[in-house]
Amino acid sequence: MALAVVHDLGATASVWLEALLEERLERATLLDLEPRPSGNGFVLRARVATPEAAERLMRASHDALAAKVAPGELARIAERASRGPLVRSWTGDADRAVGDCVGELSSRAPATAPTLVDLERYRQAIFSTKAVALAAVGPRPVLDAVARALRDGEDWPTESVLSDPWPAGDVAGAAPGDPGSAAVSVALRLGDPARALDAAKELGARGSLLVAHVEALEPAWSVVRVVGTTRARGACLRVDLDAAPGNPVTPSDAAGVAALALDEASRAVAGATANPWSLDRGVLESTDPRDAATIAAWRALAMQLEPGPTRVFASYLGSITPDGGGAFARALDEARAERQKPSIELRRAAEVGQGETWMLLASPCATLSESSQTAGLAALTVRALAHDTPELDGVHIEPWVSGTGVGLLAHGTRLGPAETSREHADRVASALGRVLAATRITDESAAAARLRLQADLGQETELLWPVAIEALAPRHPSLLDPRGTWQSVTELPTHAAEVERRALVRGPLRLAILSNSETAQIDGAELSLERWLRPERRRAVDCPSAPAVLPRAAEYEVDPPSGGAAGSRALVAVAVPPSPTGGLPLEAEWTAHLLNREHGWLDRSVRVPGLAIHAEATVLGGRDAAALAIEIVATGDRAREAASQARAVLARLAEGAATAEDLAAARLELEQASALAAVDPRQRVVQLWLGGMAPKPPPDLAALRRFHHDVLAPERHVVVLPRVHP
């Protein structure tokens, strides 16, 4: 059985009133009572063994509340109150607002013992059916005895002074705390108790979105407690978070975390079912009948009074300046406003009727900040993320690595007819944001991704490629191959991937959304993504300036791989300057196609004569640096001879050997290849991310010859040959 009392008298009154009733009831019933005081009331509960004991407790409860406080009782009550929990003092207005919201056992000033007059006033205030509830859980004879005692006993007063005042406004502030620690508490005073309880259950669940997000921040935070509580007027939802110890936290950092917690709490409240069943579920789900009775008694006192508008409270306890409270409040206002503003560049298009929604989130900086030592770090990072979380909430995650951008691609179908287009887009965006912003890359996952990347690069041919790429883009090899080199990837420390993930979250980002519905239906999807990127993204940042790339055209020699055929491989390459409009010139792609096509320029020069069993031209790089490279696998030890013939082809093209027939063939074949590639939505969302769905106009013969003249001349050749040992 449980007796619950609610009031507006404060924490000290709770402790003394609970002591008063406990003293009287134990004397009258000889039962052991278990107190649960709070700032806005208390609960006394007991285990009764017989219907007679239950009936006796019911009648004694009325009598204990009805009798005036006698002077002779005061000493015994004071002694019992001194054994109860301590009432702490609030550190400030914000701490008070958050604590009072959930009925924390605290007060504005140090607790002082009430006088006999005060205690009698307290008793009179709570002796009412509006302020007291009794609940019983147990066998039918016990319940019948309780009902009988209530029906046949003396009447209870129905008038009450209970008002449970609604807060006048939002409150935010800070107070100094222990050095080296930081804590944030946020609370929402709500009108709907059912939503508050449902939201608390969602937010506090292991692996919840809030838990995952704050754990991935730098410094990491943890969700210490989530509380949802009903009140006589409305309800409260509170979240407490602690920063990882030993990490410096500024008021701005704390404000970002508070804004995140408030945002997630508001989302959880908005998404709750608001089913009154949520208020009763705690009674039926409790395995301990004492808890069930406690919840039932407190539940009976809820929602008596009309609630007001939602109020927001936030308190920060940590290292602060003299104006720390004001600085935190201002930073919180800014952080909450920032969460409603997009910080990423958005490009979107609709393909009504397509099966999936596609989103590409990537850094347009690509690999601009990578050096010879860190080449491939961004590629390693997104590969590790996609490998660890290939699917989340029905959304598939893939890495995207190119010379123009590095990021993640997400796509997924609707979960069913009940999911709206907006919900579908929000789910894909949320999954994409969660993988990038809230998935820590462990050393183990980075090491596994590094092994896969090394396998893709291939150590055998790596003897040629590092030399060629270093000559084409000195000190910046990942401008040409964003995967880096076998050597650079091998030497990357595994912890660097997690550092790079954070850098990607904080740096410039562009989002392309290819939806399968009207674009109006995906409005707000980018904000679902933004919720994951905050509070790490504090301000707009730009990509670093592209480094100056000065190719070193020359002939280089390398030792053949151990166990490989001497003189069997070679590389011939040229650096390609960006087009006048920026980016990779279309002429480079057309040239590579004409070199590679059947009966094309490479066929006629090295493959058909039998100098090489394989010769393939590849366009490397992207917006900031590019190259055209021909890899040759020669027959026997004829790599030098095959390389000379490949260079001769490039020299003839530089002199204007390309014909109108070559151009027409390339146009037809590339248009067919482009149409075939465009069937894949991956290609279309990439094109959207790059700047649009419309293809670039094809070059004419004059433009192609001009490109060949400027780029393919012999003095621009980088040639890597096998060293011949005597």
pTM higher than the cut 0.75 = yes
**DSSP assignment string, 580-648:** TTSSS-HHHHHHHHHHHSTTSHHIIIIITTTSEEEEEEEEEE-SS-EEEEEEEEESTT-HHHHHHHHHH
For residue 184, the surrounding DSSP H or E stretch is strand 183-190
Distance CA 120, CA 70 (A): 9
In a domain, 371, yes or no: yes
Q: Is the same domain home to 80 and 7? A: yes
Q: What is the pLDDT of residues 340-370, one digit of tens each?
A: 888 899 999 988 888 899 999 999 998 999 9
Q: Does residue 693 sit in the same domain as residue 572? A: yes
Same domain, 332 and 350: no
Q: How far is CA 354 from the centre of its chain?
A: 28
Q: Is 259 exposed, middle or buried (0-12, 13-18, 19+ CB in 10 A)?
A: buried
3-state secondary structure of 576: strand
The CA distance from 335 to 330, in Å, is 9
Evaluate whether 38 touches 298 at the Cβ level (below 8 Å): no
Give the confidence band of 461 by pLDDT, cuts at 50, 70, 90: low
For residues 643 and 718, membership in a common domain is answered with yes
Q: How far apart are CA 721 and CA 236, in angstroms?
A: 74
Predicted local distance difference test score (pLDDT) of residue 405: 94
Position 459 confidence tier, pLDDT thresholds 50, 70, 90: low
> Does residue 160 fall inside a structural domain?
no
Sheet of 612-621: strand order equals 555-558, 717-722, 569-576, 626-634, 612-621
- pLDDT score of 324 more than 70: no
pLDDT at 566: 54
Predicted confidence at residue 561, as pLDDT, reads 67
Q: Are residues 145 and 208 in the same domain?
A: no
What total number of domains does the chain contain? Answer: 4
Asked if the structure places residue 585 within a domain, the reply is yes
pLDDT band at 197 (very low <50, low <70, confident <90, very high): very high
pLDDT at 218: 85
DSSP code of residue 109: S
544, part of any domain: no
Same-domain check for residues 673 and 634:
yes
Residue 667's Cβ-side half-sphere holds a number of Cα atoms within 13 Å equal to: 13
Greater confidence, 211 or 563?
211
Task: Please state at what angle helix 11-29 crosses helix 116-126, rounded to 10 degrees.
Answer: 80
Looking at the structure, do residues 477 and 570 belong to the same domain, yes or no?
A: no
Query: Is residue 326 situated within a structural domain?
Result: yes
pLDDT tier at 697, thresholds 50, 70, 90? confident
pLDDT of residue 156: 93
Strand, helix or coil for residue 44: strand
> 330 to each of 7, 130, 336, 337, 538, how far by Cα in Å?
34, 40, 10, 11, 14
* Number of residues that this document lists for the chain: 726
What domain range is 459 assigned to? 345-533
Residue 563 has pLDDT above 60, yes or no: no
Q: DSSP readout, 139-172? A: -HHHHHHHHHHHHHSPPPP-------PPPSS-EE
Q: Which two tokens stand for residue 173?
A: 């502030």
| Rounded-to-5 percentages of helix, strand, coil across the chain | 45, 20, 35
pLDDT of amino acid 322? 65
pLDDT tier at 534, thresholds 50, 70, 90? confident
